[in-house]
Amino acid sequence: MEFTAGQIAALLQGTIEGNAEVKINKLSKIEEGVPGSVSFLSNPLYTQYIYNTEASLVIINKDQELTAPVKTTLLRVESAQNAFTRLLEMYNQVKLNKTGISPQSCISETATVGTNIYAGAFAFVGENVTIGNNVKIYPHVYIGDNTVVGDNTMLFSGVKIYSDTVIGKNCIIHSGTVIGSDGFRFAPENNHQKVPQIGNVIIEDDVEIGANCAIDRATLGSTILRKGVKFDNLIHIAHNVEVGEHTYIAAHGVIAGSTKVGKNCMFSGQVGIVGHLNIADNTIITAQSGISKNISKPGEVHMGSPAFDANKYRKAYIHFRNLDNIVQRIDKLEKEKI
């Protein structure tokens, strides 16, 4: 793909300073710019690179002041960050706009398939599956029987979707993720017999799931990821968990069975939550925290393991760091008494 700086300016509704006919065919960081690339400057820490970058076009804020001449063509916009993000989105849409069904794929005769889909080599679509319009199914994806995949959803290579799963529109599921595997449930009182997991997983619209995640099916009913949920890589969601709308979970997060997480929560990396809890809306949990009790008040920040209110935790941690000195002082006082 090749565009002129002027064409990009028209797309982003910006103003060109320099050569509007310069050709652009790639994207780059400003400090790693090469001829033919477009970059951007929004962080003041990177301003120094504008004066010597080899990028052919740099997007900058409309009010960006420069203290020396530049050799690159500039594109001034209201927000360089937003404009470059939009450019990335357009680039990604073109790059990922695959269509057609590979002769090496296998789609059941009982499946219902929408228009303009892509199915790569060795993709498998089972019995009675419903695939929406503009769905992208990359090579080696497995979609089990009776599954529904909504319009514009993208399943990257190696995704495995067990039977009876429901996936909404505009979802993105990255490589290696498994959806609908059995929940971890056994009956110790019955010679540790496995408890059958006959529920399913429901993923609503606009959800993105990172690579190598595992979303377990419910024992009965459904494990549910509500609209707009975003997962990093390596997340485990156990059976019958419900994650509320627009909740974000960073890498290595683990939520045990039947816990209900509210809307607009943000969990940092390696957060662990035990089962059968309720987590209120807008809760923030810091990295490596362990949640063992309900969080009932919306908007709180929790940290530690076991976690509690972050402000109280920070104060307590100061005392913890001084604990050895305190013990030594107490020992000294006791010896003086003797």
Per-residue pLDDT tens digits for 228-268: 999 999 999 999 999 999 999 999 999 999 999 999 999 99
72 vs 16: CA distance, rounded Å: 11
Question: 177 with 214: CB under 8 angstroms?
Answer: yes
| Reduced DSSP (H G I as helix, E B as strand, rest coil) percent helix, strand, coil of the chain, to 5 | 20, 30, 50
- Return all residues near 275 (Cβ < 8 A) that are at least 6 apart: 238, 256, 257, 258, 259
**For residue range 166-199, what is the model confidence (pLDDT) as tens digits?**
999 999 999 999 999 999 999 888 888 999 999 9
Residue 318 or 273, more confident? 273
Same domain, 78 and 175: no
Q: In the structure, what pLDDT confidence band is assigned to residue 338 with cuts at 50, 70 and 90?
A: low
Q: Is 249 helix (H, G, I), strand (E, B) or coil?
A: strand
**pLDDT for 150:** 98
- Residue 327's pLDDT band, with cuts at 50, 70 and 90, is confident
Pair (124, 230) in one structural domain: yes
Per the structure, the count of domains in the chain is: 2
Looking at the fold, whether 87 and 130 belong to one and the same domain comes out as: no
Beta bridge partners of 113: 131
Residue 260 belongs to domain with CATH number: 2.160.10.10
The yes-or-no answer on residue 236 being catalytic is no
188 and 252 belong to one structural domain: yes
Give 107's strand partners.
125
> Taking residues 74-92, what's their average pLDDT?
93
| Confidence category of residue 322, pLDDT binned at 50, 70, 90 | confident
The residue to which tokens 């790693």 are assigned: 32
Instruction: Find out whether 15 and 71 touch, Cβ atoms under 8 Å.
Output: no
∠ CA 254-180-140 to the nearest 5 degrees? Answer: 110
Which residue of the set 140, 239, 276, 302 is catalytic?
239
Strand partners, 196: none
The CATH number linked to 71 is 3.40.1390.10
Alpha helices in the chain (DSSP H): 5-12, 80-95, 310-321, 323-337
**Better-predicted residue by pLDDT, 134 or 187:** 134
Answer for the pair 192, 174: CB distance below 8 angstroms, yes or no: no
When pLDDT is averaged across residues 157-172 and rounded to a whole number, the result is 98
Same domain (yes/no): 134, 276: yes
171 in the same domain as 39: no
**Considering the entire predicted model, what is its pTM?**
0.86
**Percent of the chain's residues with pLDDT above 70:** 100
**Owning domain of residue 148:** 100-313
Same domain, 59 and 145: no
